[in-house]
Amino acid sequence: MRPRSRYMGTPRIFWFKPKNEKLLFLHGSLAWIILEKMPLLGDRLFELYVDERFIEYPFVYSAIGLDAKVRILDVGCCGSNLPIALACLGHEVYGIDTRDYLLKHPNFSFVQGDTLRCSFRDGSFDIVTAISTIEHIGLGRWNDPICTEGDKKAIKEIARILKVGGKAIIAVPFGRRDIVYLKGFPSHIIYDSLSLEELFREFKTIKEFFWVRRDECWLPATRSEAERVKSEPTNVRSIAVMELEKQE
Domain end marker among 49, 64, 79? 49
Q: Are residues 201 and 120 part of one domain?
A: yes
Indicate the pLDDT class of residue 8, thresholds 50, 70 and 90: very low
- Pairs from 219-228 (Cβ < 8 Å, separation ≥ 24): 223/193, 226/174, 226/175, 227/174, 227/175, 227/176, 227/192, 227/193, 228/175, 228/176
Average pLDDT over residues 60-85: 92
Q: Are residues 208 and 87 part of one domain?
A: yes
pLDDT at 9 over 60: no
Domain that holds residue 68: 53-246
Q: Are residues 208 and 86 part of one domain?
A: yes
- With helix as H, strand as E and coil as C, how does 114-167 read? CHHHCCCCCCCEEEEEEECCHHHCCCCCCCCCCCCCHHHHHHHHHHHHEEEEEE
Q: Are residues 101 and 12 part of one domain?
A: no
Q: Are residues 144 and 43 part of one domain?
A: no
pLDDT at 47: 65
pLDDT at 5 over 50: no
As for how many domains the chain has, the answer is 2
pLDDT at 88: 95
Distance CA 164, CA 136 (A): 26
Q: Are residues 150 and 57 part of one domain?
A: yes
Indicate the pLDDT class of residue 238, thresholds 50, 70 and 90: very high
Q: Are residues 157 and 122 part of one domain?
A: yes
CATH at residue 127: 3.40.50.150
- Higher pLDDT: 89 or 216? It is 89
Domain end marker among 15, 31, 49? 49
Q: Residues 154, 96: contact at Cβ < 8 Å?
A: no
Q: Residues 62, 87: contact at Cβ < 8 Å?
A: no
Q: Are residues 59 and 45 part of one domain?
A: no
Domain end marker among 14, 29, 49? 49
Q: Residues 114, 128: contact at Cβ < 8 Å?
A: no
Q: Are residues 57 and 39 part of one domain?
A: no
% of the chain at pLDDT higher than 90 = 57
Q: Residues 168, 244: contact at Cβ < 8 Å?
A: yes
Q: Are residues 37 and 81 part of one domain?
A: no
Q: Are residues 126 and 101 part of one domain?
A: yes
Distance CA 16, CA 138 (A): 27
pLDDT digit string, tens, across residues 168-214 = 999 999 999 999 888 788 889 999 999 999 999 989 999 999 999 98
Distances (CA, A) of 182 to 9, 37, 221: 20, 30, 27
Distance CA 145, CA 148 (A): 10
pLDDT at 84: 95
Q: Are residues 158 and 42 part of one domain?
A: no
pLDDT at 33: 64
pLDDT at 31: 64
Residue 67 contacts by C-beta under 8 Å, 6 or more apart in sequence? none
pLDDT at 173: 95
pLDDT at 17: 64
